[in-house]
Chains A and B, each alone.
Chain A
Amino acid sequence: MFAVTLDLRIFANNAEQQLQSKGKGKAGDMLEKAAEQLMSCFRINKLHLCKPLIRAIDSSNLKDEYSTAQRVTYKYYVGRKAMFDSDFKQAEEYLSFSFIHCHRSCQRNKRLILIYLLPVKMLLGHMPTHQLLKKYDLMQFADVTKAVSEGNLLLLNEALVKHETFFIRCGIFLILEKLKIITYRNLFKKVYHLLKTHQLPLDAFLVALKMMKVEDVDIDEVQCILANLIYMGHIKGYISHQHQKLVVSKQNPFPPLSSVS
């Protein structure tokens, strides 16, 4: 804590100098320092300390003068922070920038970026290819990816349990958990395609969930899950409580994930 405070102070001094001199080299230093401090913020798990740093950088008008390497580093941390703040759109933006601009020889760094970029992308509906996972040795995500795209809730649960340690250590377990919602959507989409009707009995979803070995569900929970999906915009439609049926829109009842939220 003390170290961070000290760092912040150093950073503030630096920033001040930067603003005064507006020198190119110094500006670079500033961003580098900021990135270092962000890193230490992450290390000690005090994400709230990142805010002033990010604000200071954002408010500086030297953005374009930083070197690519510095920007990659900085955006990596800012993107991570955005992800933890559940600001997935921004996280994707920053992390994508980092990943794209990261030097190709820095495979390790690219992998680190991917660890956070993948969950974000998946949440936004972009599933990674098998080759990508293989290239960066991130096969822990393979099952997850497969399960989500198939709506295979069972597989997803297994994959999460299997690699729980890894995910938790990376701090992305809670993010990946949100993929369950996507998985529900995909699962229910399959139900919809099977039944080929706009009026879907809730029992059908219940059966589907039971097939996925979600044992302790009842019709109320199905309604709850559906309500969430509808509420978040993953399903267009409504539930008729009276008839215990889900009525979905005739046009595009399951809008693509990338267009949602």
Chain B
Amino acid sequence: MAANTAQQTPTQNWPYGSNSSGEGQVHENPEWEKARQALASISKSQNSTKTSPTNRTNQQYGGPYPPGQYGVPGGYQTPTTPTGQAPAMPMMEDQSSNYSSQPPPPATPQPPPQSPTSTDQPPPPPPPPIPPPPNAQYPPPPSQTPYSPNGTLPYSPTDSNPMMQGYNSGQIRPGYQGYQTPSYQSPQQQAPGQGPYGGPGRVDAKKPNNNNMNKGGQQLWQRMKQAPGAGAVKFNIQKRPYVMANQNFPLGDQVPGLASPNANPPPGTVATTSTTSTGSAQTRPQDWPQAMKEYVQRCFTACESEEDKDRTEKVLKDLLQSRLQDGSAYTIDWTREPLPDLKPKQSRWEAVPQRSQENAIGRGGATRGRGGARLGNYRNVFSQRSPSSSSSRSSRSSSRSPSPHGRHRDRSRHHRSDSGSQSDSSMSSDPRLPLSRRQQKAGRGRGGERDRDLACGVGKKRKGGNAGLDFHDPNREAKKQSRAARFHTKLRTEPLVLNINVFDLPNGTQEGLSWDECPIVGTCQDITKNYLRLTCAPDPATVRPVSVLRKSLIAVKSHWKTNQDYLYACEQMKSIRQDLTVQGVRTDFTVEVYETHARIALEKGDHEEFNQCQTQLKALYKDCPSDNVGEFTAYRIIYYIFTKNSGDLTTELVYLTPELRADPCVAHALELRTAWALGNFHRFFKLYQNAPRMAAYLIDKFVERERNIALRAILKTFRPSVPVEYVQSSLAFPDLDSCLAFLTGLGVTFTPSDPSKIDCKISSANLTASYKQPQSSRPENVTVNPEYNLSQFPPTTYQLIKPPPAKFWSSIMDFKAK
């Protein structure tokens, strides 16, 4: 147990400990490592005779760790046992003991190797009996057969021994057996995994001729059949570095004690499976017939969803495995092969339901948990594609394979020293490699690897558990939850960025960053909420769901109508916007919120908020076109006029569709622009008076500027004088007083004889002299008040146009209600 815990702990610690320790080391999936270690230890103990390196590794392990450490392998096995987490613990213990004891027996058990000898026939008798349920589901035998031929020659004895031992031990302990079966499976999977590491291994599987292949074959075989122990042999080498890394992690051990029990069992299985799948996929594909690869491709392209892919992967693995084993893979006309029927097989593999569980848990628990689940899926996808090729080997691994994949990569770094060569080579051949590498890099760069590992671990564990055996572990759910909770809290402390990274991975697309991928569903029921800029990951407890936000919006609107309290409204709107953003809600409601806020901000002349809303709306309209697209496009055009940004104006014109041009708001804005560009102030102010909706508020921002320019032209043009009324009507002053205030503010002189007329010559000179006068000194406040202006102009065809604010808002709300 102790050993198990220790191993597990490192992995679990990863997330936490990783911070302190070098990320690179930490990144690899803990579970994986554990599994490998466990296998390695087993195999070492058994195989010590065979592979000196493996032995060394084991010894190293053993050295630092007491016998219990050897148990690590046991821990590993336990994880392999898919379902029972709790059982895993006991198993761990058992195994550990077994392992410790195992080393001696290694030489004895050749029987397992025999199974390999039966090259074509999958049926290695031992495996099936041990894990009866699992066997049926998992086709370990097939995998064995391919390997068996190779393995028989050189390795058979040694490998077999370890295998046997592991097996025996499992058998000896009844309770254990059930678990072993899973472990057993895992070994098979691992074998493929080894394949990737040991290029030869794959080759062997396919082509029995090579001695090297023998090794690989044996390993695979062992793993396949005898599960943990057998697989260990090969793994040992790989694992060693791994193990070392783990040892370095010891820090984690403290924590691990807690985490290990829960997490380990399932993860181990998953990891093993995954490795196998990946390995097989990577190594073998080369030897496979091209037609078969294409067939696999077709199968995956036919998949619509990730789940489908997962299922297909599993099915394909079984199918291909059997085909490869009996050699029919090379004779079959793959182009005519019907695509696999997913449904029935799905039921067979319980992985799908499990996944859903995972997801559910992840969500409930925390974003983290989720990320993990997703990662798992993601990896599955990966594994699916390349794996398809490998499927023959790791038919079972399909469900698990994905997660292992992820791990594989993550760890690949660490492992590379030993197993790295395999993984790398395999990866290079793999189309997805780029992705995987990217992931790794990304993870490293951002320091998100830990998270990923965690997530992966979770996903893997669960999957592994499911895939292996669903039986028993009453406490499983509880453990999962507690584990999820653990992750939740701990992860929380980490920067949000990491989460995002994790989320990205599942999609496999870099754009995955979008919030859609990591929805947070708020639970806060408060209608109102003060805006507080987020400085850390959002807490669902303080985020309001959309249903509440709808009420909030209505409340804010009515409050705004009655109180005209902009500060309050702005804050509330911002908090609504924040909650929407955090939850990744981009719907019509989001559009409505932004439109509402933009209108409020516009009415109060809040540039900043208005621009923010406009920017958001521009993006939102691409997804959720609203009836008000024209309105806000018009605002944008007018805003460009305000900023005299002819460049953006031109760009905007380029993207105006004919339909948009026909929109009354846009048409008005375009006319306004034309009038403005030509200096046709008469037309400009006429349009100003007839501005639709809230455009007048926007024009208010620069109406003074335009009036100023227009007045200069007037004063320069007319001689000897011009009546104030003309100026007032031309420049759209609401009344004479405001016009006079404007004129006097500019230093306009009136004719002595008739105060209603402006002495143009003198005024023009004055105006020119005061040209540089700051505009702020002008006392033309009256016209600046938008409400005032608006009230002057009767609403035009639009009912929503420029009524007093209160009416406007009520009408907007009615409008929306329709």
User: A residues engaging B (CB < 8 A)?
Assistant: 45, 47, 84, 86, 168-169, 171, 173-174, 177-178, 180-181, 220-221, 223-228, 230-232, 238-242, 247
Contacts and interface: CB of A to CB of B under 8 A. Distances in A.
Contact of B682 (A47, A86, A223, A231): A223
B647 A239 contact: no
B726 interface: yes
B726 A241 contact: yes
A239 B717 CA distance: 6
B678 A180 contact: yes
Given A174-B649, A228-B713, A238 B654 contact: no
A175 B716 CA distance: 25
Contacts of B328: none
Nearest to B720: A240
B717 A230 contact: yes
A230 B678 CA distance: 13
Interface SS majority for chain B? helix
Nearest to A220: B682
Determine which residue in A173, A232, A238 has the highest number of CB atoms from chain B within 10 A of its CB, and name it: A238
Nearest to A181: B678
Interface string B641-668: 0000011111101100000000000000
A147 B694 CA distance: 37
B723 A230 contact: no
A228 B681 CA distance: 9
B680 interface: yes
A241 B730 contact: no
A230 B760 CA distance: 14
Interface string B289-321: 000000000000000000000000000000000
Contacts of B719: 238-240, 247
A20 B248 CA distance: 52
B679 A221 contact: no
Contacts of B712: 231
A84 B716 contact: no
Contacts of B714: 227
A84 B646 contact: yes
Q: Sort A-B residue pairs by CB-CB distance and give the 8 closest, nearest first.
A: A224-B682, A231-B713, A227-B717, A238-B719, A228-B679, A230-B717, A227-B713, A221-B682
B718 interface: yes
A178 B681 contact: no
A84 B647 contact: yes
Contacts of B651: 45
B209 interface: no
Interface string B323-367: 000000000000000000000000000000000000000000000
B479 interface: no
Contacts of B718: 227, 238-241
Nearest to A242: B721
B172 interface: no
B478 interface: no
A40 to B, nearest CB: 14
A139 B449 CA distance: 62
Given A177-B674, A230-B716, A241-B722, A224 B647 contact: no
A84 B720 CA distance: 37
Contacts of B437: none
A101 to B, nearest CB: 26
B677 A228 contact: no
Contact of B654 (A84, A168, A239): A168
- Between B647, B717, B723, B730, the greatest number of chain A beta carbons within 10 A of the residue's beta carbon is seen for B717
Contact of B730 (A169, A177, A224, A226): A224
B701 interface: no
Given A238-B719, A239-B718, A45 B648 contact: yes
B680 A47 contact: no
23 contacts: A45-B647, A47-B647, A84-B646, A168-B650, A174-B646, A174-B649, A177-B677, A178-B677, A181-B678, A181-B679, A220-B682, A220-B726, A220-B730, A221-B680, A221-B682, A224-B730, A225-B680, A228-B678, A228-B713, A231-B717, A238-B717, A239-B719, A241-B723
Contacts of B438: none
Interface string B83-101: 0000000000000000000
A241 to B, nearest CB: 5
A139 B556 CA distance: 57
A257 B200 CA distance: 85
Nearest to B677: A177
A226 B649 contact: no
Contacts of A240: 718-720
A246 B654 CA distance: 39
B262 to A, nearest CB: 44
B709 to A, nearest CB: 9
A217 to B, nearest CB: 9
A171 B712 CA distance: 30
A45 B720 CA distance: 47
Nearest to A233: B716
A247 to B, nearest CB: 8
> Which of B646, B682, B729 neighbours the largest number of chain A CB atoms within 10 Å of its CB?
B682
Contacts of B720: 240
Contacts of B653: 168, 173-174
A227 B674 CA distance: 17
B655 to A, nearest CB: 10
Given A180-B678, A221-B680, 16 more contacts: A168-B654, A171-B647, A171-B650, A173-B653, A177-B678, A181-B679, A220-B726, A223-B682, A224-B730, A225-B680, A227-B717, A228-B678, A231-B713, A231-B716, A240-B718, A242-B721
